[in-house]
Every structure is written in structure tokens, then in C-alpha cells.
Amino acid sequence: MTENELAKIIVDEAFHVHYQLGPGLLESVYEACLAHRLTQAGLKVEVQKPIPLVYDGIHLKCGFRCDLIVEEKLIIEIKTVDQLTDIHLAQLLTYLKLSNLNLGLLINFNVVRIKNGLRRVVNRL
């Protein structure tokens, strides 16, 4: 399955979770529900996966963690903020670079319409 095919499934499931729960809950709630939905859809989902950092030839344990990694191909970063900002996009882009993945989805569940909380982020290697 391609990253684009995965992204479509993820967006559909995010719509479902948001429709059922609405805005205003903690990130951890949306993360758990979305991970459940994606697993039920038959996808491999890793939750709070550590991302290694190598700096100047040294392997550092800095505590970076992706919210969700789907099929080892796509990162999902979940937010519950008033609005997404450039720093949220930069965070996801950094995760993509560190993990050598190409596509990420930034999903803000704290919106009236989930389509307004979705951002697609591409790592141009």
C-alpha cells in the first residue's frame, strides 16, 4: 500500500473519530481512538514510537516520540490546539527527516470541522 493510499484511510478514520467524539478532549484520547480504528482496519500501528537521533556520529537518547507510525511508512502527529502553527509543521517535518519517512499527517482534533485541522507534510529528501 502506498503512502497516499494509507493517508486516505487515515483521514477517513480521523473523520470518524472526530464525528464520534467532537473537539475538546486530550490528545491521548484521540491518539488511542485513532490507533484502535486503524488497527481494526488491518493496519500496523506503532504508538509513541521513539525516534533515534544521531548527532555528530553519536547516538543520543533524547526522548523524541512519534504519536503514531502506520505501516512503517507514515507518521501521524496529533494535536488539540486552537490552531496549527508553523512550529507544529516543523516538528512533524523533523520527525520525518529523523525517521527517513516521506509523508506525515498533522491532525488537530480541536476544531469544529476536522477538515480544517488536517495538514499533509512531505519530507523532500
Report how far residue 13's alpha carbon sits from residue 59's, in angstroms, rounded to the nearest whole number: 35
Q: Please state the pTM of the whole predicted model.
A: 0.93
We report the CATH number of the domain holding residue 71 as 3.90.320.10
- What does the pLDDT read at residue 56? 87
Report residue 9 as a C-alpha cell. Answer: 484511510
* Longest alpha-carbon distance in the chain: 46
Tell me which residue range forms the domain holding 94.
3-122
Number of separate helices (H) and strands (E) present in the chain: 3, 7
Domain count, the chain: 1
Contacts of 70 (CB under 8 A, 6+ apart): 6, 10, 38, 43, 44, 45, 46, 76
CA–CA separation, 7 and 101 (whole Å) = 13
pLDDT of residue 70 exceeding 90: yes
Residue-level pLDDT at 58: 85
- How sure is the predictor about 125, in pLDDT bands with cuts at 50, 70 and 90? low
